[in-house]
Amino acid sequence: MTNTHRSFLVGALILGLVVIMWIARPDGSAVVPPDSLATASGGTDLLTAEETAFNFGTISMKQGVVTHDFAITNTSPEPIIATKLSTSCMCTEATLITPSASEGPFGMEGHGGSVPRLNASLLPNEAATIRVAFDPAAHGPAGIGKISRIVTLKLASGANLVLSISANVTP
């Protein structure tokens, strides 16, 4: 590897660390720049979340399932259609709660079949909730320690709203 390549890689690494430090908060959540929020059809319509990351802190397997509600809002002038809600692990489930219905819970795609299709509409300025449930005992003793899970809401426009949960699991 030449010195030019090495310098470029070091510069890119430093830039990446600066960006991570800029968006990270002391509580482990993240500040999400507006352009990384889900974009609905038209390129400027937004589905926004009051928060995109939640840390349960230290939780015990004995405590059982814990839940957190993520508030989302259609801040666009047009309806937004949600087509799929899925999680990154079987220990996590997500439910979409709108003013007109509750759909779910939905889990991890590819395990035990596919995640059913969702056909939920959020009208302009309408708020909804994505309720995330995490079972700290799902992995047994191998699941002790720090965890991070992802919940993805896919939109008909092709955009995604990505939420995350984390915890430190104890016996």
Same domain, 59 and 2: no
Give the three-class secondary structure for 111.
Answer: coil
Same domain, 157 and 89: yes
pLDDT for residue 115: 67
Same domain, 27 and 52: no
Closest Cα to residue 158, out of 97, 81, 106?
A: 81
pLDDT for residue 29: 36
pTM for the full predicted model:
0.73
Question: Which range of residues forms the domain containing residue 19?
Answer: 1-31
Same domain, 80 and 24: no
pLDDT for residue 86: 93
Same domain, 63 and 134: yes
For the chain, 171 residues long, the average pLDDT of each consecutive 10-residue run is 57 46 38 40 65 95 94 92 92 94 87 73 94 93 91 91 95 92
Question: Domain containing 45 — which CATH number?
Answer: 2.60.40.10
Same domain, 70 and 84: yes
pLDDT for residue 135: 95
Same domain, 84 and 164: yes
Report the C-alpha gap between 151 and 103 in whole angstroms.
Answer: 15
Closest Cα to residue 86, out of 66, 103, 69, 74?
A: 103
Same domain, 121 and 111: yes
pLDDT for residue 137: 92
Report the C-alpha gap between 34 and 76 in whole angstroms.
Answer: 13
Our count of domains for the chain comes to: 2
pLDDT for residue 4: 59
Same domain, 25 and 103: no
Same domain, 38 and 26: no
* Peptide linkage before 105 cis (omega within 30 of 0): yes
Same domain, 44 and 112: yes
Same domain, 27 and 49: no
